[in-house]
């Protein structure tokens, strides 16, 4: 009977209509997530969040191996009136944060001291057509491979080679397009690359500006004609995102801002103001179309077409957009050299990247491509003099 009585009177039961209070707000459950490149943790609710080192120890992380890079606090009042708080701490390996920090001042000084090497013998061929040296995907600030230092050194070295090739194939006009992803930025890939930077965002833009200026100095010294510099935005150059979406105009880009500063400097220089012209997309646009020696050349970064530029280009042609009507579509974004004829006597020209590579892409696909600048000439309605493809 006693056992039956116990079952009949189980004691007080929770009121199913009484909302149960959570011990912490949504999103602030204590947890830790990390890999070898860094991560974050959320501390357990308490009267006051623990110090950084203690929080790391609470989750089995050695403070001598990890450093907290940012902190966010949440405070809330629980039933009964007490206040609790928790901290969300982002952290990175101390070795990574120390070994991958580039010295922006040294990079800027190196660019400023750079001078083109002793020139090769100039060609006696008449200067006709337009000489192109497009640049894209420098992603200054990216830590992969040899980092920003390697990218800057590679750019200056290959700028020398480009100047040599111009001397062999002189032209009336020099076109120096910048095709996006000029800096690594902090927003692409949902902000997940913030632990893999060797420069701060402002430093990235400063280095990028100096590279354009070095390019202008190099070609202005050997070319008496007109220099045109079209600049288009890339996804890494975006100034701000909300979540993982661009949240302002498409031309609101660090690539545009950095180049605009050089354009202002050239406009104030009496030796350059009538010789150097920068071209930017119209408001809220991503691309540029310019005519060179009988060919309409469209320039864009490529994040809008992903891995199928031809389907996208055909759709643009169907919509009669300026890029859809171009004879040549020149783009970056996919990082490897790809030149292919397309219907209607059109030519797709994807330029290679100049950064130090991508560990993520190599881990996923086992491949990479050599970083380099390429040059070519448009003359009499034809693409000519493409430098040797290795």
Question: Tens digits of per-residue pLDDT, 119-140?
Answer: 666 666 678 899 999 999 999 9
Residue 361 has a pLDDT of 56
Q: Which residue has the higher pLDDT, 168 or 49?
A: 168
Mean pLDDT of the chain: 84
Handedness of CA 300, 302, 304, 305 (dihedral sign): positive
Compute the distance between CA of residue 94 and CA of residue 7 in angstroms, rounded to an integer.
59
On whether the CB atoms of residues 217 and 164 are closer than 8 A, the answer is no
Residue 197 has a pLDDT of 85
On whether the CB atoms of residues 89 and 52 are closer than 8 A, the answer is yes
Q: List domains and CATH numbers for the chain.
A: 39-65+85-91 (no CATH), 97-384 (3.60.21.10)
Compute the distance between CA of residue 304 and CA of residue 234 in angstroms, rounded to an integer.
9
Question: Tens digits of per-residue pLDDT, 59-99?
Answer: 888 887 777 876 778 888 877 778 888 888 887 776 554 44
Compute the distance between CA of residue 385 and CA of residue 284 in angstroms, rounded to an integer.
35
Compute the distance between CA of residue 49 and CA of residue 57 in angstroms, rounded to an integer.
13
CA distances from 367 to 70, 140, 303, 364 (A): 34, 21, 20, 8
Going by DSSP bridges, is the β-strand pair 173-175/226-230 parallel, antiparallel, or unpaired? parallel
Q: Which residue has the tokens 């070795």?
A: 95
Residue 94 has a pLDDT of 66
Q: Which residues contact 164 (CB under 8 A, 6 or more apart)?
A: 119, 120
On whether the CB atoms of residues 311 and 343 are closer than 8 A, the answer is no
Question: Tens digits of per-residue pLDDT, 316-342?
Answer: 989 999 999 999 999 998 888 888 989
Of 196-205, 260-269, 294-303, least confident by mean pLDDT is 196-205
**Structure tokens of 288?**
């540029």
User: In DSSP terms, which residues pair with 241 in a beta bridge?
Assistant: 246
Residue 240 has a pLDDT of 87
Handedness of CA 255, 261, 265, 266 (dihedral sign): positive
**Structure tokens of 385?**
């003099």
């Amino acid at each position: 009977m006693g056992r039956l009585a116990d079952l009949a009177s189980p004691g007080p039961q929770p009121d199913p209509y009484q909302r149960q209070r959570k011990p912490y707000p949504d999103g602030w459950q204590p947890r830790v997530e990390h890999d070898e490149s860094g991560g974050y943790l959320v501390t357990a609710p308490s009267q006051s969040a623990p110090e950084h080192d203690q929080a790391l120890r609470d989750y089995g992380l050695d403070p001598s191996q990890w450093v907290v890079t940012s902190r966010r606090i949440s405070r809330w009042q629980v039933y009964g009136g007490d206040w609790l708080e928790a901290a969300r701490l982002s952290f990175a390996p101390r070795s990574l944060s120390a070994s991958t920090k580039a010295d922006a001042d040294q990079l800027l000084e190196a660019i400023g001291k750079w001078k083109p090497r002793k020139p090769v013998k100039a060609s006696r061929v008449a200067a006709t057509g337009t000489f192109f040296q497009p640049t894209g995907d420098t992603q200054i600030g990216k830590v992969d491979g040899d980092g920003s230092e390697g990218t800057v050194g590679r750019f200056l070295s290959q700028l020398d080679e480009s100047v040599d090739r111009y001397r062999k194939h002189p032209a009336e006009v020099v076109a120096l397009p910048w095709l996006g992803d000029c800096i690594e930025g902090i927003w692409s890939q949902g902000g997940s690359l913030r632990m893999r930077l060797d420069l701060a965002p402002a430093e990235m833009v400063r280095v990028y500006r100096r590279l354009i200026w070095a390019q202008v100095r190099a070609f202005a010294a050997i070319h008496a004609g007109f220099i045109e510099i079209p600049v288009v935005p890339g996804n890494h150059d975006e100034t701000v995102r909300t979540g993982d979406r661009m949240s302002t105009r498409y031309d609101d880009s660090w690539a545009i801002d950095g180049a605009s500063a050089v354009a202002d400097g050239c406009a104030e220089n009496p030796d350059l103001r009538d010789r150097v012209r920068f071209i930017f997309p119209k408001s809220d646009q991503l691309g540029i179309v310019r005519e060179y020696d009988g060919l309409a050349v469209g320039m864009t970064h490529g994040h809008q077409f992903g891995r199928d530029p031809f389907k996208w280009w055909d759709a643009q042609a169907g919509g009669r957009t300026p890029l859809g009507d171009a004879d040549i579509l020149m783009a970056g974004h996919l990082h490897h050299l790809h030149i292919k004829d397309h219907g209607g006597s059109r030519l797709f020209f994807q330029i290679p990247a100049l950064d130090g590579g991508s560990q993520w892409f190599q881990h996923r696909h086992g491949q990479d491509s050599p970083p380099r600048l390429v040059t070519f000439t448009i003359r009499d309605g034809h693409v000519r003099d493409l430098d040797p493809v290795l």
